[in-house]
């Protein structure tokens, strides 16, 4: 006989940080369906340098479409792409060791 699956509850609609903090502090989060949550990345470093570059319009349009699909502003999307491009390649790190 299969073990009885526990039905997960939907997360309540939270309208403030205080309400969210209460749920996290008091609720058993294992009882909630968290499958629909999306990771959020917070940017804390100040943006104190500017870059001005010329791009073909087709490239900029493609960047804006990709940013829209991921749900972030296109300038943040470009910044993340630059950060990812500068991350060390795990395979090359292993070859160096």
Reported as a single tens digit per residue, the pLDDT across 13-66 is 888 888 888 888 988 888 888 888 877 777 778 889 999 999 999 999 999 999
Q: How far apart are the first and last CA of the chain?
A: 51
Residue 19 placed within a domain: yes
Q: Which domain holds residue 62?
A: 43-96
What lies within 8 Å, CB to CB, of 10 at 6+ separation is: 32, 33
**Is there a single domain that holds both residue 48 and residue 80?**
yes
Contact 13, 32 (CB under 8 A): no
Residue 1 placed within a domain: no
**Is there a single domain that holds both residue 32 and residue 53?**
no
Q: What is the pTM of this model?
A: 0.53
Q: How many residues does the chain have?
A: 97
**Is there a single domain that holds both residue 63 and residue 78?**
yes
**Is there a single domain that holds both residue 47 and residue 92?**
yes
- Kindly compute the dihedral angle of the four CA atoms of residues 43, 62, 65, 71, in this order, to the nearest 10 degrees: -20
**Is there a single domain that holds both residue 30 and residue 72?**
no
Packed helices 57-70 and 74-86: angle between N→C axes, nearest 10 degrees: 90
Reported as a single tens digit per residue, the pLDDT across 66-86 is 999 988 899 999 999 998 899
**Is there a single domain that holds both residue 31 and residue 48?**
no
């Amino acid at each position: 006989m299969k073990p009885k699956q526990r039905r997960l509850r939907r997360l309540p609609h939270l309208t403030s940080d205080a309400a969210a903090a209460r749920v996290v502090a008091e609720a058993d989060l294992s009882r909630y369906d968290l499958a629909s949550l999306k990771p959020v990345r917070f940017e804390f470093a100040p943006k104190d340098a500017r870059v001005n570059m010329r791009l073909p319009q087709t490239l900029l349009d493609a960047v804006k479409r990709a940013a829209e699909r991921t749900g972030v502003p296109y300038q943040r999307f470009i910044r993340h792409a630059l950060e990812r491009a500068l991350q060390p390649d795990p395979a090359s790190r292993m070859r160096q060791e």
